[in-house]
Amino acid sequence: MVERFLPGMRHLVAVKLRSRGLSQNRVSALLGVTQASVSVYLATDPDRAYNALAKLSMSRSQADRDSVELADAVQKGAVQGVRALERIWTDLLGSGGVCQAHREMYPSLSNCDYCIAEYGGRGEVAQTIGEVARAAEMLEGSEYFVNIMPEVSVNLACVAGDAKSPSEVVAIPGRIVRVKNRAKAMLPPEPGASVHMARMLLLARSRMPEVRACINLRYDLKMDALLSRAGLRILELGSHPSREAEDATVAALENRLGSSTSPFDAIVDKGGSGIEPNVYLFARGARDAARLAIRIARAYSTA
């Protein structure tokens, strides 16, 4: 990674950032290299970088896509840059693209398939983690979203592939919380981070397989009116079971689905004893859920 991947990728990202009008000093700060190194990158034919990355089985089009993603990420912050870099590198490892170069350096690895076994099966999971991370960044960037966050905070869940269990559903550990009047994800997304949201999403998918993501928002009379005006199909939960349940909201949804066959875009849970009212929005992807939530937040804030 250090000797072959990073130099080529830094070269391409430096070119992308400079083409956006950033100074060499700013580019060097974002990439963590000297200004002199950036100057060398910009003065060198990019084919050198493409050729170096091709030895890791990375096509020119893939190198362009990944360098654009990484350039976008580092402009947002160091943490986002590391997340993007990790995804790009582990996807490359999982594809087997690095194997030949690695074996040339270490012939004893001729029969090694560790990276393919470790990361190859994580392709959909890695993509979903990236999708949820970008959706969380959208929420963090909205000045309105904080106004529709419930007291229990927010989580955003998305299935990876054809998930069947909560451990395969990606969400935010510690949830998305309010920090200085903005939304802030506590930690990077990971599989199995919210059993509650995962179970709500998986139940919805049992009725609507096209649904992949879910986000919870506050519920009050103002939100009720906005949901109606938005034309969303609403499934309202009945009272929560009086018996002590592991997850009363999930139990209420299971009961409701047993008596309703209609598709829905949102679930309204008016709460109960010790349970705050919430709205659960469903969408085909994490970013779609974030866009819908931000649109509702803007309408809520300006109504």
Residue that is written with structure tokens 């109960």 in the block: 272
Identity of the amino acid at 199: R
- Whether the predicted pLDDT of 154 surpasses 90: yes
pLDDT bin (cut points 50, 70, 90) of residue 232 is very high
- Whether the predicted pLDDT of 243 surpasses 70: no
The conformation of residue 247, written as its DSSP 8-state character, comes to S
Cβ neighbors of 246 (< 8 A, separation 6 or more) are: none
Which pLDDT score is estimated for 242? 53
| 13, two tokens | 């990202």
Average of per-residue pLDDT across 61-69: 93
Q: Considering only 8-12, 16-20, 82-86, 118-122, which range has the smallest mean pLDDT?
A: 118-122
| 126, two tokens | 């890695």
CA 175 distance to own-chain centroid: 13
Which pLDDT score is estimated for 244? 57
| 49, two tokens | 């970088």
pLDDT bin (cut points 50, 70, 90) of residue 230 is confident
Cα radius of gyration (the chain): 23
- Whether the predicted pLDDT of 241 surpasses 70: no
Which pLDDT score is estimated for 65? 92
CA distance 286 to 141: 15
CA distance 13 to 248: 49
Q: Considering only 45-49, 61-65, 247-251, 259-263, which range has the smallest mean pLDDT?
A: 259-263
CA distance 154 to 234: 19
Higher local confidence (pLDDT), 117 or 258? 258
Identity of the amino acid at 26: R
Q: Considering only 19-33, 123-137, 171-185, which range has the smallest mean pLDDT?
A: 123-137
Long-range contacts of 75-82 (CB under 8 A, 24+ apart): 75/17, 75/30, 76/137, 79/188, 80/133, 80/137, 81/30
Kindly report the number of other CB atoms within 10 A of residue 182's CB atom.
14
Q: Which of 82, 64, 67 is nearest to 188 (CA)?
A: 82
pLDDT bin (cut points 50, 70, 90) of residue 126 is confident
> Is the overall model pTM greater than 0.75, yes or no?
no
- CATH 3.40.225.10 boundaries in the chain: 138-302
Which pLDDT score is estimated for 175? 94
CA distance 107 to 94: 20
Identity of the amino acid at 256: R
Residue that is written with structure tokens 């009050």 in the block: 220
Which pLDDT score is estimated for 262? 87
Q: What are phi and psi of 210, to 5 degrees?
A: -75, -15
In the chain, the percentage of residues whose pLDDT exceeds 90 is 65
CA distance 34 to 2: 16
Residue pLDDT, tens place only, 177-221: 999 899 999 988 888 899 999 999 999 999 999 999 999 999 999
Q: Which of 49, 52, 57 is nearest to 15 (CA)?
A: 49
Which pLDDT score is estimated for 222? 94
Superfamily of domain 138-302: Class II aldolase/adducin N-terminal domain (3.40.225.10)
Which pLDDT score is estimated for 189? 87
Residue that is written with structure tokens 């050729």 in the block: 51
Cβ neighbors of 61 (< 8 A, separation 6 or more) are: none
Q: Considering only 42-46, 127-131, 263-267, 298-302, which range has the smallest mean pLDDT?
A: 127-131
In the chain, the percentage of residues whose pLDDT exceeds 70 is 96
Cβ neighbors of 68 (< 8 A, separation 6 or more) are: 16
